[in-house]
Amino acid sequence: MGLTLVEVLVAMAITAVAVLAALQLLQATGSSLRASQLRFLALACLDSEIVRLQIDPTQMTALPRSLACRQGGAVFRIDLRLLPTPHPNFRRLEADAYWLPVSSGDATGAGQVTSAAPEWMGQRVYFRSVGF
């Protein structure tokens, strides 16, 4: 009992579709993992900037401002804003993080920020008491 050419071709086509589906699943998982890692690093940048402002509240007079933060080989732009609240003794500090895509760079790993649009990664909000 042998296999015909059509049966072999059908089996190969089914196997090829299954392999392509598995590769697509692996690629989606990898990109999702990278996005999750970038979001974690961006939120770490935001948290460290908020702590820096808590330690030295005099820096809040220079808000709004933007600054760069490097974490885990990625570059993020941090935008800080101090906004009023309905209660006169509190201020709202908003911190947004944007991922700036970086080129692969040279052998030292020092890549340059590309001209691609920054991607929003997350926000932290902190309420600061004043006048107490």
Domain region containing 27: 5-129
**Digit-coded pLDDT (tens) for 64-103:** 999 999 998 899 999 999 999 999 999 999 999 999 988 7
What share of the chain has pLDDT > 70, as a percent? 92
Domain total in the chain: 1
* pLDDT attached to residue 131: 72
The span from the CA of 114 to the CA of 85, in Å, is 37
pTM exceeds 0.75 for this model: no
Q: Give 3's pLDDT tier (boundaries 50, 70, 90).
A: confident
3-class state of residue 99 by DSSP: strand
DSSP at 88:
T
Residue-wise pLDDT tens digits, 27-61: 999 899 999 999 999 999 999 999 999 999 889 88
* Average pLDDT of the residues of the chain: 89
Continuous H helices in the chain: 5-55
Distance of CA 130 to the CA centre of its chain: 32
Residue type, 40: F
**Residues 6+ positions from 8 with CB-CB distance below 8 Å:** none
Is 86 within 8 Å of 78 (Cβ atoms)? no
Does pLDDT of 107 surpass 60? no
Binned at pLDDT 50, 70 and 90, residue 106 comes out as: low
Strands 90-100 and 119-129: antiparallel
**How sure is the predictor about 105, in pLDDT bands with cuts at 50, 70 and 90?**
low
**Up-side HSE of residue 11: CA atoms within 13 Å toward CB?**
6
Which amino acid, one-letter code, is at 27?
A: Q
Q: What phi and psi values does residue 88 have, to the nearest 5 degrees?
A: -70, -15
- Cβ-contact 92, 82 below 8 angstroms: yes
- The mean pLDDT value for 10-28 works out to 95
